[in-house]
Amino acid sequence: MRSIFHHFVAAATFAVASLTPALAAELPVVRKAPEINITTIDGKQVTAADLKGKVVVVDFWATWCGPCVAEIPGYVALQKKYGKDGLVIVGVSVDRGSIDKVKKFVAKNGMNYAITMGEDGVLAEAFGGFDAIPTTFLIDRQGNIRHQKTGSMEHEEYEALVKQLL
């Protein structure tokens, strides 16, 4: 029985390893990203000039969205691991109502990346709009959207995409 388990683990590891390069295959340019000029929930300004030459992940999410919340530890890990290499993660909360609720959620979850409120829909419309969250955009150093995903994605899959652009 232990032998079967070890073979299963080896096969699963191989399958994931072989999938990662396929995900990181050359990412086409989807379209030019809109300029991002935001005020974070802690009052800091993040401008298009600040993001120039950076790889940027823009994640539209909400505190009440289970798949969104499940992705947060992965974004925290990516920011910690690749922030020094030019990765910037921007979380856009679409929660309605009190910013204090979002601030408490961010603190409780150790979110180490820029968070802004997007309940007015202006930033979502600038990105072309979407029907569901989480919706995430990956922007290259030249300001092009290279990946767009509605729905959750495993941390390892997203890391492979991010690493390709760093």
CATH number for 127: 3.40.30.10
Using DSSP's 3-state secondary structure scheme, residue 82 falls into helix
Closest among 6, 10, 159 to 85, alpha carbons compared: 159
Determine the average pLDDT of the residues in 74-80. Answer: 98
Q: DSSP code of 142?
A: T
Q: How many domains does the chain have?
A: 1
- Expressed as residue numbers, the domain containing 81 is 28-165
85 located within any domain: yes
From 164, 160, 162, 138, select the one nearest 149 (Cα to Cα): 138
DSSP string across 32-65: EPPP--EEBTTS-EE-HHHHTTSEEEEEEE-TT-
Residue-wise pLDDT tens digits, 6-36: 333 333 333 434 444 444 458 888 899 999 9
Give the tens place of pLDDT for each residue, 48-73: 999 999 999 999 999 999 999 999 99
